Amino acid sequence: MKSLVMERKMELSLRDFPEISKAEETLGPRDVRIKLHTVGICGSDVHYYTHGKVGPFEVTEPMILGHEAAGTVIEVGSAVSHLAIGDRVCMEPGIPDPTSKAARLGMYNIDPAVRFWATPPVHGVLRPTCVHPADFTFKLPDSVSMAEGAMVEPLAVGVHAATKARVKPGDVAVVLGAGPIGLVTALSALAAGCARVFVTDLADKKLEIAASLSPAITPVHATKQDLTATVMAATENWGADIVFEATGAPKAAAGVFQPLAPGGCVVFIGGQADPIAYDAGAAMVREARVENIFRYAHVFPRCVGMLASGAIDVKPLITRKFDFNDSVRAFEIAASAPVADVKMQIELPQ
């Protein structure tokens, strides 16, 4: 069976990929071998395809894309006791060195040495099987589908953002951006206790999806409506306790403090290709706390737990599915940023 290979910028092919190294395919005692079932298309996958790089990571040799994945365990290393053949699982795509300083400090996600799927020189998982550390492989209960399992990776970003924000029950939050990350952040903020979440975007269809997720979500059109006025009117002119920036757009970042309450918190989630400016004076008079997040650290079990119990439902975010044979077309469509889509997923033949 073939793999989805990014040959170079703007060139994908579905082909055999003998280049994958023996080391990557060898099962160690603490590893499992997984047959991939569902892989979500992430903004970073699309950005590699359209730009050839993401931030400092440049694709210089053919690379397999994909890092949001669920599948079935087909082989278990000799020292693995918590997983068995046949288990349905999702995988955390970043593998840190457990002995590194960052790992010992409890922040392995910001260890510069993390090996992360589909980040050069590490291959992604739009391929038949992969070998992965069992410690970063999480069993899915029967109530969680493969499609939901492949949503755990983006959901983990939202859960990490809500954790960094230190949400308190009854908080009011704003989420800038109704893409996959904005919406999983809104769901995470509600699960963490927010009374109300305002979600902004430019696309009406995405706002419709946002509003459908919960009666506690209020959609706000970023250009047709005045976000700050809307939030102030709803909070007796106090403002939102938390603003999550999930657009990555410099213009959105420039205004993050406007709807923020005194003593509030801004969490920057959206990726920034270039340096951006924000209003430090507006932050100062509010004594705003500013947090930044990069991926997540050990939140997959929480995400699986919330999907299993129904505390979070990500199914409405999955707006399109493609057969693996159509994955080149899936990426072409994803690259056109269709306004009515949130998350697209690819299903591999079983």
Residues that bind Zn ion (CB under 5 A): 42, 68
- Report the distance separating Cα 52 and Cα 46, nearest Å: 9
Phi, psi of 233 (to 5 degrees): -65, -30
Q: Which is nearer to Zn ion, 68 or 245 (CB)?
A: 68
- Which one, of 84, 92, 149, 93, lies nearest residue 304 by Cα? 149
Rounded least distance, CB 250 to Zn ion, Å:
22
Q: Which is nearer to Zn ion, 172 or 307 (CB)?
A: 307
Among all residues, whose Cβ is closest to Zn ion?
42
Read off the DSSP letter of residue 122.
B
Task: List the beta bridge partners of residue 343.
Answer: 318
Read off the DSSP letter of residue 243.
E
Rounded least distance, CB 157 to Zn ion, Å:
7
Q: Which is nearer to Zn ion, 12 or 54 (CB)?
A: 54
Q: By CB neighbour count within 10 A (0-12 exposed, 13-18 middle, 19+ buried), where does 242 fall?
A: buried
Rounded least distance, CB 63 to Zn ion, Å:
15
- Helix runs in 12-108, H state only: 22-25, 43-51, 101-104
| Cβ density class 2-20: b for 16+ within 10 Å, e for less | ebbbbeeeeebebeebeee
Q: Which is nearer to Zn ion, 286 or 295 (CB)?
A: 295
Q: Which is nearer to Zn ion, 41 or 174 (CB)?
A: 41
> Tokens 């992969």, residue?
130
Q: Which is nearer to Zn ion, 68 or 341 (CB)?
A: 68
Rounded least distance, CB 295 to Zn ion, Å:
9
- Residue pair 139/87 in contact (Cβ under 8 Å)? The answer is yes
Rounded least distance, CB 6 to Zn ion, Å:
15
Rounded least distance, CB 154 to Zn ion, Å:
5
Which CB contacts under 8 angstroms, 24+ apart, belong to 279-285?
Answer: 279/254, 279/255, 282/257, 282/258, 283/257
Q: Which is nearer to Zn ion, 42 or 209 (CB)?
A: 42
Rounded least distance, CB 70 to Zn ion, Å:
13
Which amino acid makes up residue 59?
Answer: V
C-alpha dist (Å) from residue 167 to 159, 189, 194, 327: 11, 7, 7, 38
158 CA to centre of own chain: 7
Retrieve residue 304's tokens.
Answer: 């699986």
Rounded least distance, CB 41 to Zn ion, Å:
9
- Residue pair 278/255 in contact (Cβ under 8 Å)? The answer is no
- Which one, of 309, 313, 318, lies nearest residue 347 by Cα? 318
Q: Which is nearer to Zn ion, 161 or 240 (CB)?
A: 161
Q: Which is nearer to Zn ion, 68 or 148 (CB)?
A: 68
Rounded least distance, CB 151 to Zn ion, Å:
10
